[in-house]
Every structure is written in C-alpha cells, then in structure tokens.
Amino acid sequence: MKRVITYGTFDLLHYGHINLLKRAKSLGDYLIVGLSTDEFNDKEKNKECYFDYENRKSLLDAVRYVDLVIPEENWEQKISDIQKYNVDVFVIGDDWKGKFDYLKDFGVEVVYLPRTKEISTSKIKDDLNRR
C-alpha cells in the first residue's frame, strides 16, 4: 500500500482544498492529513481560524479522499510522522516549493502540487470583509 501525507490548516474548507486532497490521494492508496491544531496555528503560524480543530477535523473526515486525520502540533513532527505511518509520498502546495526537500533524505518522494489559483481561505475572508 502506497501511503501519502499532506499537512495544512484547512479552515473554511473550499474546492481548492478538495482539489489538493483529490490530487494527493491519486498519488497513492491511503491519504493521511496532518491538520494544524488550534495551538499550533495560534503560536507558530500566527493564524486565527474560523473553525476550531474538532470542526475542521470533522469536515476532513467527511471528505472521501481522506483516510486518516492526525494533529499537526509543530513543524518538526513531519519526520516522525513519515516514519510512524510508513509514508511513501509527502505532498504540499507549490507555495512551499523547495522547503521540504530535506524529507527526501527519509526515503519519501516530495511532491509540490499547484494551488487552485482563484481560491484560498485568505481570499474568502477578504471578499467577506469587503461586503
């Protein structure tokens, strides 16, 4: 079984997120999503989420491409997650291009997928604030 992992906040889940998850799942048989916890978003990413972790997790659990959702609590856990879950492919949006190449040293393929250009959580929030 080929295992794929990706990470993100997935707040205000939208079709760009679904596109990423669908493409990530197409690279293997089992998709693991590391979902940023509220504490990690607040302290490390300086992001304020609309939905809390449990609600964001419930949304991801309902997406047919996602097989397992795990908490992402810090930047460094990617290596231990790759080892713990026997991951073959690490996937992330291409806005992170080159940032995770070091994971190749741990035996995984690193794939940077193009973002869905016309949509993002930031764009949704900006559009709502203009109304």
Active site residues: 45, 47
**Cα–Cα–Cα angle for 55, 18, 67, nearest 5°?**
65
Q: What is the largest CA-CA distance in the chain?
A: 48
Token pair belonging to 98: 């080159």
Cβ-contact 121, 109 below 8 angstroms: no
